[in-house]
A and B are shown apart, each in its own frame.
Chain A
Amino acid sequence: MPADKEKAALVAAAQWFARLGDEAVDEAERQRWREWLAAAPEHARAWARVEMIARPFSQLRSNAHPACSRQALREARREPRRQALRLLGIGAMALGGSVLLGAALPRSVQWQVLAVLNTGLATQVGEVRHVELDDASRLSLGTATRVRVDYSEELRRIVLYAGEIMLDSGVDRRTVPRPLVVDTEHGRITALGTRFSVRRLEGLTQVDVFEGAVRLAPVNGEGTVTVEAGESGRLTARQAAANGQASAARERWMKGLLIADNVPLGDFLAELGRYTTVKLEADRNVSHLQLVGVYRISEPARDLPLILAALEGSLPLRVQMTGRGDVRLIAK
């Protein structure tokens, strides 16, 4: 504890801080504060501390969006420290013990009702988020995804900037129902009463349809293509085209499941890599191994080690951590 004199100075400084922050403070009061400040070295020291404490606040205030900072401080508080402790406990047993991956069942999805009509939404690497929109359309955001929900009088529009979404379109209850569309830089996908996923890839947008149908229209090209349930399509800026069967994996990520339906290990790792910042690599002599399995990836920090352990168990390979903490899969 500080000496009594220092402590008294701190108490006084806190009171001056409160008085000076009052909009009703007058010049006479300010003058008294200056006199107090000059009266003793410990007063000046105490005031320097007050300024030090006020500094991060003024920094946040000048940081363009003070309301966002306040919201963040409040929201982050709701996510209690317990969560961190829980993760610590679970993390400690991650690689040991038995792993029941075959039994990974889809957990029921928690839909968060979107209170605001038009907004940007984003997920971080490894995060999946589910929101219910104004028209009861259900929108799931995959890992590292950015969208904007933009509903107007004429159009229900969702813009996909990055990542992957699954959309289960609701029925517009307006007298003149508005079309529901997803826009990417490659073109427009119009829902025709349907459930479908849209994923942004390098140079193209992939669409997998599970119910109903959608219409694809390239941004700079002629001609549209209709993709029916069970089919998939691709959209580049110039062209829309059908692209074979819809992929089950594109349907299941929203339930926190990663599906390997007889795919090469290398491809599976690329998919898994979208959920983590850990670099995952397979040696050339194992990357061609075919993999069949269903893996849970709802909490990547917890599930990633489990998945790697399961790969070790089911394929002739070994998981190796590099010095930098990256993961390499090598032949056993």
Chain B
Amino acid sequence: MDLAVASGECIGDIYRAHHGWLQGWLRRQTGCGERAADLAHDTFLRLLGQREAKPLSEPRAYLTTVARGLLVDFWRRQALERAWLDALSSQPEPCAPSPEEKALALEALMQVDAMLDRLKPRVREAFLLSQLDGLTYREIGERLGVSERMIKKYMAEAMLNCLMLNTDDASG
């Protein structure tokens, strides 16, 4: 309890001293005031999420490090969104997804993209063909020019990779 209060106060001080500055910095990065406000907000949420309240010797350096991570995610999301909307609009029947559909799909895309980030391209493609397109191992094998046994190995490798990634996150 004491710790939470202490941490809250500590963050309150940092917030008062640096929030305006951080938001300005983010605005220059994104060219968008609304996004800057959101990202600044998220940066402080991250800070609150820290279990221990440690005094920061270089608060601005620390804040920009956290904010930079969020910004990279933000650009990534934009790239995905754009690619996804492009793909949708090049469908034979162009369709406009509802905001809810779009938000859900983008959230899922971000998760999937992050999970598959470190996979070898072939393993990644095999995993996507199976999990997104629902192709059978035989069909995937034909497409990639390898045996079904190999596809099964790819699938286990991809899944284990995702599993270990999430474990690292949870413990680190």
Contact = CB atoms under 8 A, between A and B. Distances in A.
Interface of A: 1-2, 6, 10-11, 13-15, 17-19, 21-24, 46, 49-50, 52-54, 56-61, 63-77, 79, 81, 83-85, 87-88, 91-92, 94-95, 116, 118-122, 124, 146, 148, 276-279, 300-302, 304-305, 321-322, 324-327
B155 interface: yes
A78 B104 CA distance: 23
A122 B97 CA distance: 14
Given A60-B105, A63-B105, A325 B131 contact: no
B111 interface: yes
Nearest to A90: B29
Given A72-B80, A91-B30, A305-B28, A119 B163 contact: no
The interface centre, meaning the residue of A66, A69, A300, A301 with most chain B CB atoms within 10 A of its CB, is: A69
Given A10-B160, A63-B101, A277 B166 contact: no
Q: Which 3 A-B pairs have the closest CB atoms?
A: A325-B33, A120-B94, A301-B31
Nearest to B137: A22
Contacts of A95: 28
A277 B34 contact: yes
Contact of A53 (B132, B152, B159): B159
B90 interface: yes
Nearest to B165: A53
B5 interface: no
7 contacts: A2-B171, A24-B148, A64-B101, A66-B134, A70-B128, A321-B24, A325-B32
Contacts of B153: 18
B163 A10 contact: yes
Given A22-B152, A63-B105, A305 B79 contact: no
A81 to B, nearest CB: 7
Contacts of B29: 87-88, 91-92
B37 interface: yes
Interface string B132-172: 11101110000000001000110111011011101110010
Query: Which secondary structure dominates chain A's binding surface?
Result: helix
Interface in B12-43: 23-24, 27-37
Contacts, number: 209
B134 A278 contact: no
A227 to B, nearest CB: 29
Interface in B105-138: 105, 107-109, 111-113, 115-116, 128-134, 136-138
B1 interface: no
B46 interface: no
Contacts of A22: 137, 148, 152
A277 B36 CA distance: 12
B89 A325 contact: no
Contacts of B72: 81, 84-85
B84 A2 contact: no
Contacts of B11: none
Given A22-B137, A23-B136, A56-B111, A301 B30 contact: yes
Given A49-B166, A65-B87, A322 B104 contact: no
